[in-house]
């Protein structure tokens, strides 16, 4: 029997024409030339515009834009991405932010970034793509250690893990009906997973600027290098956390087991196993608990995607802890 394809990483993308006319005019004014072509990019979860633009004078630029509908949280996420991306060093493998627009009247937020002539990794994952991406992640963590951002510019990731994504604790203390729909492994090990997760915040200590959202749809591979996109969740912590959070998505999308992915990164190999297990408990709890929530507006496939990541990350946690 063939394995079903993984759920797509796609939101409800809007076309260039969905941007209010006044904002489109502002974009063209900043570019100094009218837009003659806009090619929507389908990958990714933002329920807004993501398009490669061409102007009459031959410019190429990538534009991300979102308004308060259908998802009222999205503009704030774009604002955070613009703020963080603007502070990244020019040598980092991240598309350069040219400028942004934050329109108070309409609530729309626009980011204009360098267009990258590249492609997403093949799915299912291929060995050569994975080798290049992991090497790129190693280079990324080296460039961003210590974090090049001013102190206090982003939160320590321990704050997020300790207070905002404590999925196993939420399931343990929350509605019993949610626990009833958990898989048998999660029900059996819920208290132990919540206890291990409670140690994750202290386990994240480090001084690396992390993306914390690396997966195939947030990666572009060009002839020269691997590029890492989408930085609204940038936080500071241990250098091995990005490869840990990335590995389950590779497995879900047809690649090798997550341990085989993560062990390729020297920071992961050198990390204390107990710290790794605590953070893995937090990541698996996040995917498990959030997959049970209603879909956010404009993100119809997000919960299915999180559920699939939960299956892989729980199996990885079981492997590492021996909780069979």
Is 240 within 8 Å of 276 (Cβ atoms)?
Answer: yes
Arithmetic mean of pLDDT, 271-297: 97
163 exposed, middle or buried (CB, 10 Å; 0-12, 13-18, 19+)? exposed
Question: Looking up tokens 């992390």, which residue turns up?
Answer: 210
Label residue 1 by pLDDT band (50, 70, 90): very low
What CA–CA distance (Å, rounded) separates 87 from 182? 41
What CA–CA distance (Å, rounded) separates 192 from 220? 38
So what's the pLDDT on residue 3?
54
Q: Strand 109-114 vs strand 60-66: parallel, antiparallel, or unpaired? A: antiparallel
250 exposed, middle or buried (CB, 10 Å; 0-12, 13-18, 19+)? buried
Instruction: Report residue 85 CA to chain centroid gap.
Output: 14
What CA–CA distance (Å, rounded) separates 60 from 189? 52
Over the stretch 96-117, which tens digit does the pLDDT of each residue have? 999 999 999 999 999 999 999 9
Over the stretch 226-256, which tens digit does the pLDDT of each residue have? 999 999 999 999 999 999 999 999 999 999 9
Label residue 4 by pLDDT band (50, 70, 90): low
């Amino acid at each position: 029997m063939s394995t079903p394809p993984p759920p797509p990483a796609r939101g409800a993308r809007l076309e260039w024409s969905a941007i209010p006319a006044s904002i489109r005019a502002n974009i063209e004014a900043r570019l100094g030339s009218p837009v003659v072509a806009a090619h929507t990019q389908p990958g990714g979860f933002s329920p807004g515009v993501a398009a490669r633009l061409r102007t009459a004078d031959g410019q190429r630029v990538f534009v991300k834009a979102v308004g308060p509908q259908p998802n009222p949280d999205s503009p704030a996420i774009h604002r955070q991405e613009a703020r963080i991306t603007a502070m990244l060093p020019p040598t980092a493998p991240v598309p350069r932010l040219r400028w942004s627009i934050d329109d108070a009247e309409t609530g729309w937020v626009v980011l204009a970034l360098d267009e990258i002539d590249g492609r997403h990794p093949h799915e299912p994952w291929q060995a050569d793509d994975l080798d290049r991406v992991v090497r790129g992640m190693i280079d990324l963590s080296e460039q961003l250690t210590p974090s090049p951002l001013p102190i206090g510019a982003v939160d320590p990731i321990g704050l997020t893990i300790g207070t905002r994504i404590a999925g196993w604790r939420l399931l343990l203390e929350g509605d019993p009906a949610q626990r009833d729909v958990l898989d048998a492994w999660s029900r059996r090990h819920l208290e132990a997973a919540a206890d291990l997760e409670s140690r994750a915040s202290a386990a994240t200590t480090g001084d690396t600027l992390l993306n914390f959202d690396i997966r195939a749809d947030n990666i572009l591979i060009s002839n020269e290098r691997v590029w890492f996109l989408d930085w609204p969740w940038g936080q500071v912590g241990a250098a091995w956390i990005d490869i840990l959070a990335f590995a389950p998505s590779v497995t879900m999308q047809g690649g090798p087991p997550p341990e085989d992915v993560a062990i390729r990164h020297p920071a992961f190999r050198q990390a204390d196993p107990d710290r790794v297990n605590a953070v893995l408990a937090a990541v698996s709890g996040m995917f498990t608990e959030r997959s049970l929530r209603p879909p956010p507006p404009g993100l119809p496939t997000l919960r299915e995607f999180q559920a699939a990541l939960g299956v892989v990350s729980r199996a990885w946690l079981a492997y590492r802890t021996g909780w069979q």
